[in-house]
Amino acid sequence: MLVAFVGVIPPGLLNMTAAKIGIKEGYSRGLTFSIGVCVVVVIQTLIAVTFARYLSKHPEIVQVLQRVAFVIFVLITIYFLLLAKKEQKEILKEPRKSKHSQFFYGMFLSALNVFPIPYQAYMSIALASLGWLTFDNISITSYVAGAATGTFVMLYLYVFFFKRLKSKRLQSQKTMNYIIGGITGIISIITLINIINTL
């Protein structure tokens, strides 16, 4: 749940769309969109963990992915620290949709967002290496359920509290971007330590 929660913190397509729908069309439609997102997140996380289980049996591939992940997390850290200094644009308006269509709209946008698959695969491998996750059916089911719950909780926060954040938009987004940059920076350091330990 925490891994997915952190993964959805950065202002992106899904959470900003959920916030926008909540503001323009009401909270219930924003939550309907979020549920649609989470349905696809379940599938994506299941694919990621299954892939991670395969990778756990091939440590040579994991070492390559660790190096790739380190570079990606460093770039993300730099991006959000630099982004914190820039002013953000207003959210664009979109036509009103029914609750039913918002659910499928959430599924559609979530399916376009493939980032959770490599992210969850890497994080599940990292948790497994620490002994916090095993790849049996019960653990995988629990992890997938936690990922969907963490995603929904963060989208929920965006839907219900974005109006307050918007009133202090610049300050709030700067703080959020610094926090995200700090989190990804910590992950980068941990990844670097793991790479050094395997040398």
Cβ 136 vs Cβ 41: under 8 Å: no
Cβ 48 vs Cβ 121: under 8 Å: yes
Cβ 4 vs Cβ 147: under 8 Å: yes
Q: Report which of 199, 31, 190 is spatially closest to residue 125, judged by C-alpha positions.
A: 190
Long-range CB contacts (within 8 A, 24+) of 95-99: 96/24, 96/25, 97/21, 97/25, 97/29, 99/28, 99/29, 99/32
Query: Cα separation of 106 and 35, whole Å?
Result: 7
Question: How confident is the model at residue 94, as a pLDDT?
Answer: 46
89 DSSP assignment: P
> For the whole model, what pTM was predicted?
0.66
pLDDT tens digit at each of 199 positions of the chain: 887 877 776 666 788 788 888 888 888 888 999 999 999 999 999 998 988 888 777 777 767 767 777 787 788 778 777 765 555 544 444 444 555 688 888 898 888 877 788 788 878 877 887 778 888 889 889 999 999 999 999 888 888 887 665 555 444 556 666 766 777 777 778 778 877 877 6
The alpha helices in 91-136, defined as continuous H runs, are: 99-112, 116-129
